[in-house]
Amino acid sequence: MRVRGLVKRYGQRTVVDGLDLEVRRGEVFALLGPNGAGKTTTIEILEGVRRRDGGEVAVLGADPARAGRSWRDRVGVVGQTAGASAALGVRDTLDHFARYHAVPRDSGELLAAVGLTEQARTRVDRLSGGQRRRFEVALGVQGRPELVFLDEPTTGMDPVARRQFWALIQGLRADGTTVLLTTHYLDEAAQLADRVGVLSAGRLVEVAPPDELGGALRRVTTVSWTEDGDRRSVRTEEPSTVLRDLLAAHREVPGLSVTRPGLEDVYLQLVEGGTR
């Protein structure tokens, strides 16, 4: 997947502003960003359901805006809103949609993968919000797509369901499926993604593996301690020097702590910097 100079405007407001993005075949790529950053709009353009105002897009070798049925058969989509019929049971609905795919995944295996085995005979409209979300994920991957778009797929899921979903995504990666997902959960991105991209104000401010995101920001360590009843701290890239000076000046250093920024700290700094 390759995107160059992607632009999307709504009236005078630019939602996606010259976005460049490349997703490698077989990887799990996570788009992070606050509400309004342009994540869903970007995903919908790549899915071919929303038109762009500028830029070049190639997904599985085709422009989604002009791609036909054969291209869509290779793509799985799980959006933010449910689109499946609510009148049938869960298993019956999966079996029904399986007829549209050349080599569908087994319905029983899918139900187990998303934690809905016990709800197999429940009508779709009687599922809880989290269960409905899991059902939509099952439909999105049913046809063994080469590429899967997942827009905030675990919204409304409880912790157990989220873990089951993570296992499903890891299984897709093992099968060679490319996955592009958006999420607000940093732990989810860290667990699943080979690389993450941070969107802010319609621009991609950084792309890196989760444990490398932030680059220089991660090298800044905060050394904190208590002195004369006051809490003091120093941000430095050389904590050993600060610690040496502290220990030379004080026999004991009360409340001494040394911390490095985690993924959440780095993410927040990148987002704040991208909106300036």
* 175-193 pLDDT, tens digit each: 899 999 998 888 999 999 9
What is the model's pLDDT at position 63?
A: 96
| Each residue's pLDDT tens digit, 249-274 | 888 898 999 988 888 888 888 888 76
User: Is 60 exceeded by the pLDDT of residue 276?
Assistant: no
Which residues share a beta bridge with 258? Answer: 223
Query: What's at 218, amino acid-wise?
Result: R
CA distance 215 to 172: 29
Q: How much is the pTM?
A: 0.80
Q: Which pLDDT score is estimated for 122?
A: 95
C-alpha triplet 140, 143, 148: angle, nearest 5°: 45
Q: What is the Rg, in whole angstroms, of the alpha carbon atoms belonging to the chain?
A: 23
Q: Contact, 146 vs 75, CB < 8 A?
A: yes
- What pLDDT digit, counting tens, does each position of 108-162 carry? 999 988 889 999 999 998 988 778 888 888 898 899 999 999 988 887 778 887 8
pLDDT tens for residues 53-110?
Answer: 999 999 999 999 999 888 988 999 987 655 556 778 999 999 998 998 888 999 999 9
- What is the predicted pLDDT for the residue at 84? 54
Can you point out the beta strands (E) in the chain?
2-10, 13-22, 28-32, 54-58, 75-78, 147-151, 178-182, 195-200, 203-208, 221-227, 230-236, 257-259
